[in-house]
Amino acid sequence: MPIHHILFAFVVSFVWGVNFVVMKIGLEHLSPFLFMALRFAIVFLILFPWLRIVKGKMTLIFAVGLCLGGLHFAFAIMGLKLAENVTSIIIIVQMHVPLTLIMAHFLLKERLSYWRGSGIVVAFIGVLIISFDPAIMHERIAIIVIFGATMLYSIGAILMRQLQNVGVLNTQAWTAIFGVPILLSLSLFIEADQLEQIMTLNMEGWGAVFYTAVLSSVVGYGGMNFLLKRHPVPLIAPIFLSTPLFATAAAVMVFDEVLTTRFYIGTSLTLIGLAVIHLRDWWKKRQIVQELLP
């Protein structure tokens, strides 16, 4: 794997990590559902040239767009709005990896090895330790909402795996189409003064919206797809374990959040569990390559 591709993978991870802090800043200027509706509207405008109707797969695309677009981000932005400390929900988001493996085991009948199973158990123990940290006990509702968002993301990922031969930019464009009406409807029914918020939005607010739309959505997911088309998943996935590290560092720097010993222990266990899941695949892939070499 070329060094510039490795560095690019870390750039994507950095963009996604910082995105947590950027969205939290954006919520200081816009109501949650309006913020996400604007994000998806911009994503749609950017990706419109790649929009294509895929015969025989539109029902599945709709299901993917529903889970990964409107519903997932509706829960995610509400959880972020409810959370006072960004660090309390960062690790929860990473649980989509073991959750997806569990769902794939039951729904797609994919074998879940003892090695992966142990990684899942360790990751969940880490999350429980973080959840019961006295310093963030009042964040329990936000954690539950974020966990719901993570479940929806995992369901969307399972559906995505059945969506073969459909470009990622086309999928993202459809996700934006399905996401905008859901999020805009929630905003119109629950929130108020949408037009005034948009008209009075300052540069910091617009910067947050465009960061999440352009960098996180288009560059982030587009970059991940670029890498996955050129390298095996087991080589790429471990690099993305740095996302919560970048996110935590950004939250501490911007919001002066204090990290407790229990948080460090829980985070370490969760990352170890995720590393076990990813690095086992990497090691098996390496062994196969060595066996094929002359």
Using pLDDT thresholds of 50, 70 and 90, give the confidence band for residue 288.
very low
Which residue matches tokens 């300052």? 202
For 48-89, write each residue's pLDDT tens digit. Answer: 999 999 888 899 999 988 888 889 999 999 998 988 878 777
Residue-averaged pLDDT of the chain: 81
pLDDT digits (tens, 9 = 90+) for 147-197: 899 888 888 878 877 777 788 788 889 999 999 999 999 999 999 999 999
Task: Encode pLDDT of 230-264 as tens digits.
Answer: 665 555 666 776 777 788 888 888 888 777 787 77
Q: Residue 291: which pLDDT band, with cuts at 50, 70 and 90?
A: very low
Quote the pLDDT of residue 232: 58
The confidence score (pLDDT) of residue 202 equals: 94
Sorted by where each begins, the domain ranges of the chain are 3-292
For residue 93, which of 73, 64, 110 has the smallest C-alpha distance?
73
pLDDT band at 289 (very low <50, low <70, confident <90, very high): very low
